[in-house]
Structure 1
């Protein structure tokens, strides 16, 4: 505990306060002033309270962390209540009086254990893909070679902890990343702790308090739409467990024209006389500052006069023309045959009595070369004259 800084003149209170705040970190622990209005300054980690014993009447007490004003004492000036209290990072907690002689008393919490350079560095966490929480860190620059880290999430009020189920390691086998896949079941605010272990040294922990809605990295929306030569309608959808209102930046580029950006709060956009164009989109929560990445560019072909529709129309026209030509040629041929029949009627055949009489008879053709011919008997007929 640091000794109180006290003064005797009220007009010098602010000056004394500034001097004490800037020099308090260098003060050593000494015996308390027996006349101090505040004694036994202490931290109650479970309750996240900086509390003390009062001796005498005080009008008000202010609490500071690392020389920054945080809150005023409550419950008849009995303690200061904090929303967040780090279990790993050493900070200076100080109290001063709002009125009366300048007074300042402070303690450090938590106590420093081990080499801070061996603790996990650059601890960062983010929510992504709606349901996943990922945290990453770096191995401490002064960490021993056998160091290993483990990450825990801690409920802010119950202090219940759960270790990360899925680690990633670097090429030395050190844990440097962790994944949780149950974001919908998590509290909206968490304490993240990374503890280190080694056989040769004590490793201080690292921690940070995160509010899931603030660390969410939204995925860029996928744009869908319909269009024609005179009108285009684009739509998109964003999913999140924490954000319900969004801001969008829609970038549009028509042909070779320079791209321009529309700032929107709706999840749709209408474009008139669109022609052929490219569009991409990014999003952020309405009350947040972090934008998503740009979506992949989407190309919209809306001008029916362009090459592809024109080619389809030309092929259809050529097919129709070919059909008409074939039909016309058939009609011409039919008509031509009819005219020839009229100009050159067929000549009737002359009647052949012999052939006509034999049309109903069966004729047998004999081949003279065949040896199977039979000799027909020939009878000689002698004509006798009259006597």
Structure 2
């Protein structure tokens, strides 16, 4: 559009403000003409766009930083249903120092929640292929504004930390779709150890509690199993269940699936059966890890027991 010049923002900087968090700051170009045209700043991060009006000149973003980080920003002007764009301005954070293949690999974490609403966190990993035997790894987790270092490690045969347990955490079972940030750095006498970060959806790494109050009854040859949903902040409709029904006379196991809180099955009442149930959230409701099986309940006649 003739007569309108669009200038990029200035003083665009990136700063690490917390574990796996970047503070982006900028200022409108002081040479941009002041007028009544609506002005926006458009940030591009990892192929995602975020728009801000000119009154807001900062943003924080969670991101894995062990490989560095970059972002671009430009000014947009909207005028008469048209959009005018400035050039991009780019800022970068360098990757932290560290030798190749010294960072941890195969990081896996599980959250266990208790009836009293407390949550524990267990993580395991493997030492990097090039990590010296004297490498010491240190794990930190961050949840919302809380950051804590591990105090309870498990070790490999060289004495390197390869696992961590937090018996109590600040992780809130009642919060949905929150992120758990894991940061593991390290040290060695001769080699710089590269740090590693990963962002986990809290629900995706939570191990679901087992179903409660499981009962079994048998009328003639009709087996009826009933139970209640696990201790959870999720709705009953979220859960699915697996039943493990084992025929001890025939040595035969059935795994049956349901989303209900009861299950009926016609069985041979001359046989003895054990019944166990486990639970998980359905995929549409942030599927986590399957719960442990409940303790077996037995029903039927205790005769001709099949021995494996």
Whether TM exceeds 0.5 here: the answer is yes
> Does residue 134 of the first structure (1) align with residue 128 of the second (2)?
no
Deviations 1:351-370 (A, max 9, x none): xxxxxxxxxxxxxxxxxxxx
Deviations 1:91-144 (A, max 9, x none): 222224553246323222354323353222232211137443101122122323
Displaced runs of 4 or more, over 6 A: 253-258
> Does residue 198 of the first structure (1) align with residue 188 of the second (2)?
yes
Look at both structures and tell me which one has the larger radius of gyration over its CA atoms.
Answer: 1
Deviations 1:30-86 (A, max 9, x none): xxxxx95222211243384322121126733332223x115222553523443x244
The match for 1:166 among 152, 158, 177 is: 152
- Structure 2 counterpart SS, 1:132: strand
State the TM-score, normalized to the length of structure 2. Answer: 0.69
Q: Check whether the contact 2:278–2:294 (CA below 8 A) recurs between aligned residues.
A: no
State the TM-score, normalized to the length of structure 1. Answer: 0.57
Change (3 A) 1:70 1:250: farther
Flag structure 1 segments of 5+ consecutive residues without an equivalent. Answer: 1-7, 9-34, 309-387
The count of corresponding residues between Structure 1 and Structure 2 is: 267
Write the distance in 2 (CA, Å) between the matches of 1:50 and 1:85: 12
More strand by percentage = 2
The Cα RMSD (Å) is: 3.7
Q: Check whether the contact 2:242–2:255 (CA below 8 A) recurs between aligned residues.
A: no
- Name 1:176's counterpart in structure 2: 162
Change (3 A) 1:75 1:81: farther
Change (3 A) 1:198 1:150: same
More helix by percentage = 1
1:7-18 map, 5 Å: none
Change (3 A) 1:54 1:119: same
Q: Check whether the contact 2:240–2:260 (CA below 8 A) recurs between aligned residues.
A: yes
- Name 1:186's counterpart in structure 2: 171
- Name 1:212's counterpart in structure 2: 202
Write the distance in 1 (CA, Å) between the matches of 2:163 and 2:111: 14
Write the distance in 1 (CA, Å) between the matches of 2:110 and 2:266: 39
Write the distance in 2 (CA, Å) between the matches of 1:151 and 1:125: 12
Greater RCO structure (CA 8 Å; 6+ sep):
2
Write the distance in 2 (CA, Å) between the matches of 1:115 and 1:40: 32
Residue 264 of structure 1: how far off its partner (Å): 1.4
> Does residue 228 of the first structure (1) align with residue 219 of the second (2)?
yes
Write the distance in 1 (CA, Å) between the matches of 2:267 and 2:134: 66
- Structure 1 counterpart SS, 2:101: helix
Change (3 A) 1:165 1:249: same
- Structure 2 counterpart SS, 1:50: strand
